[in-house]
Chains A and B, each alone.
Chain A
């Protein structure tokens, strides 16, 4: 079945550092990918929709200059958390869907646990 790979799975860095997270669709092309954030013991919240070859669409309250999204190819979307601070520590999960079959559900990556010291 369709697989979405996310890297890295875990990152710890100092406050002020920028961190890039990659989301790859391994066996299908994804024109649209989604980025979610999940704080401990909370639900998943949609941050933005990543569209191949165009600008991402951000949800209300999500700073586009803080969370940079690049979807340069049909198999790769990246999320860069710029100048990360402790409050950005969270579980970031991407998902993707093959455009060939609109009835197929989204496939989630394994997530990236980000800890900012």
Chain B
């Protein structure tokens, strides 16, 4: 089955700086890669996703890049703010994210230092 590795497990950055979280996946058939933000005790919230036919996607301060050849994808957050502090999960699935469940990375605890 699919295996998703995520690094780092903890990331501390100064407010205003950029944060980058990286993930690799093992199944070349995976074609959907979402990123979720989870605050303590709450459900994961989708912040951005990318499909395998696209190399990069951006939404305001958040961007995701995908390298299918290397089987890795990254989350980039620019101009970080205190409210960005949370646990971030990458995930992968096949069939457009619908027919197959998501395989999650282990998560990155992002800490924004004021």
Contact = CB atoms under 8 A, between A and B. Distances in A.
A99 B105 CA distance: 25
B55 interface: no
B16 interface: no
Contacts of B104: 43-45
Contacts of B103: 46
B92 to A, nearest CB: 11
Size class of A's contact patch? 20 to 34
Contacts of B105: 43
B102 A103 contact: no
Interface residues of B, number: 24
Contacts of B98: 32, 97, 99, 102, 104, 106
Most buried by B among A34, A59, A108, A111: A108
Contacts of B101: 34, 36, 46, 49, 59
A105 B97 contact: yes
B99 interface: yes
Contacts, number: 58
A54 to B, nearest CB: 13
B43 A108 contact: yes
Contact of A103 (B34, B96, B107): B96
Given A105-B34, A105-B97, A108-B43, 13 more contacts: A34-B102, A36-B101, A36-B102, A43-B89, A43-B105, A44-B104, A102-B95, A102-B98, A103-B97, A106-B98, A110-B42, A110-B43, A111-B42
Interface of A: 32, 34, 36, 42-46, 49, 59-60, 91, 93, 95, 97, 99, 102-106, 108-111, 113
Interface of B: 1, 34, 41-46, 49, 51, 89, 95-107
29 contacts: A34-B101, A34-B102, A36-B102, A43-B104, A43-B107, A44-B104, A46-B101, A46-B102, A49-B100, A59-B101, A93-B44, A97-B97, A97-B98, A99-B98, A102-B95, A102-B96, A102-B97, A102-B98, A103-B96, A103-B97, A105-B34, A105-B49, A106-B97, A106-B98, A108-B43, A108-B44, A110-B42, A111-B42, A113-B41
